Chains A and B, each alone.
Chain A
């Protein structure tokens, strides 16, 4: 309610006929609507968003699994040409052609279909792992930075202990304990990647809590939760969003590394990293398509999320309101 008062006053002034053209009636807009406008004006960000949307479409509609689930039948390939594990006896290692758009792999499976299903695996792992990481890192880092003292000490010691563990080695140990597989990879990545979000949130809150506007809010009796929602989160959000958005390709990269080294996604389930690591790099000089297409897909995915993250960062920054 308090927020509405200036606008009400402005209307009164206008209706009263005084200084009609000196008191602008500013349309009420949320920072998010402004953010959307700024995002749309940023060409690179839009390119990133389009890439992400294309990849998400590939991931969602590789087969009609979503509909098939409700219709209660086996999923049929939709954007992909064949199921990812269908073997064509004969054209193993075939180069790209009209029949096989990206050629076939050394087991005679259609590479195009495997690439598309790979999008589903890579994107879902990247996204969900970061979501779990955010769910752990943001609350912990926020509380630590805001409260300080003992809570900060204990949270940061937990972060210390966890981050004192070498990432790849920890992921390896977890994978060796749990066994290779889709959900285990996701879990291993989430466990190893919430620390940066936590540390970043804490650093932001630590800096923000010293700011005058926070002190002012507290002095007029604004509740902690409201300060969190209205002041701390919007001000701390930009670097966290950059971190999460960049964390998705990082998670995809970790998944690729694990699969590359044979403890990630189990074949025949496809993942770009695994395709690159198993057949791609070893045969790069001759079967170039086996390395090129997975590498390109990893690159496009990272490009998309990176550009989008940068655009989001610029668009979401409430301080840009001043520039209008």
Chain B
């Protein structure tokens, strides 16, 4: 097991290297540059001067090596779009807000989604199942930016119960967290139901019932444990997805988080930010999959990595 984890960490370094090269090539291959899309366009000379200053006139491999030698010292360079801030500083300033929002939404999503899915599966093809399915479908079928707008219209503007946006205290959290959590609730409930329905028909469940185990014991010790394998595959990636924010939610509710940079950095051709964010995401996702794979072994002794 220890060797497996070590191998994966070595693999992560490899992934990060390959990925950073790919991203580097891809983002520099995209037409336009960081100074082409401003309000007042720069002249050709000014752009050339800026390129020299930021080293963009060097060959690509040289830029990459420069970037890489910075990364080893945890220096991801300065954001082109926010020239007074480093990439690390910018992420460090905005991510905590997004993290806060994401973790709250995740807690809500798992807290509601998993019980909803289990209940639906246990009462399969009854009105309880249909109701749970419809509830989760409702969360899934409507894009969260629509939910966000509807919530603001109803609860902030019409009823005046909650603020329209901002990020100043618990009252400000309710609407964005709810809007953000609806889609993962649906996904979690759906896959929980699918996995539990799968597991519940297995022979060992019949055996467990036949030998007189209580229903609670059957569900938690036999059904859930076996249902968890396919569930883990789907649930793992939800976590990094949620804690890195959404441009839609953060724009609609005016939350000063990290979410918007995933999109604006590409618009602005903010190269250090693009590749910095990609690395952040890569580390998060790699750690998630590593933990997922470790969970596989813990949950199912038949799974082995050799």
Contacts and interface: CB of A to CB of B under 8 A. Distances in A.
B149 A306 contact: no
Contact of A173 (B26, B130, B133, B229): B26
Nearest to A246: B190
Interface string B21-33: 0110011011110
A42 B124 CA distance: 11
Interface stretch (A9-17, A72-80, A118-126, A161-169): A161-169
Interface in B254-277: 262-263, 265-267, 274, 277
A44 B133 contact: yes
B53 interface: no
B164 interface: no
A198 B188 CA distance: 19
Q: Interface on chain B toward A: helix, strand, loop, or mixed SS? A: helix
Interface in A197-251: 199-200, 203-204, 206-207, 210, 238-239, 242, 246, 249
A281 B277 CA distance: 28
A306 B141 contact: yes
Q: How large is the interface on B (under 10, 10 to 19, 20 to 34, 35 or more residues)?
A: 35 or more
A160 B289 contact: yes
A62 interface: no
B149 A203 contact: no
B15 A199 contact: no
Contacts of B265: 169
A295 interface: yes
A160 B140 contact: no
Nearest to A313: B194
Nearest to B193: A310
Given A157-B14, A204-B230, A314-B124, 10 more contacts: A148-B306, A164-B19, A164-B281, A173-B26, A177-B31, A196-B237, A203-B229, A239-B230, A281-B145, A284-B153
Interface of B: 11-12, 14-16, 18-19, 22-23, 26-27, 29-32, 124-125, 130, 133, 137, 140-143, 145-146, 149, 153, 190-191, 194, 197-198, 201-202, 229-230, 233-234, 237, 244, 247-248, 262-263, 265-267, 274, 277-278, 281-282, 285-286, 289, 296, 300, 302-303, 306
The 5 closest A-B pairs by CB, nearest first: A164-B282, A302-B141, A172-B266, A166-B281, A299-B141
Interface of A: 42, 44, 148, 157, 160-161, 163-166, 168-169, 172-174, 176-177, 196, 199-200, 203-204, 206-207, 210, 238-239, 242, 246, 249, 253, 256-257, 260-261, 276, 281, 284-285, 291, 295, 298-303, 306-307, 310, 313-314, 317, 319-320, 322-323
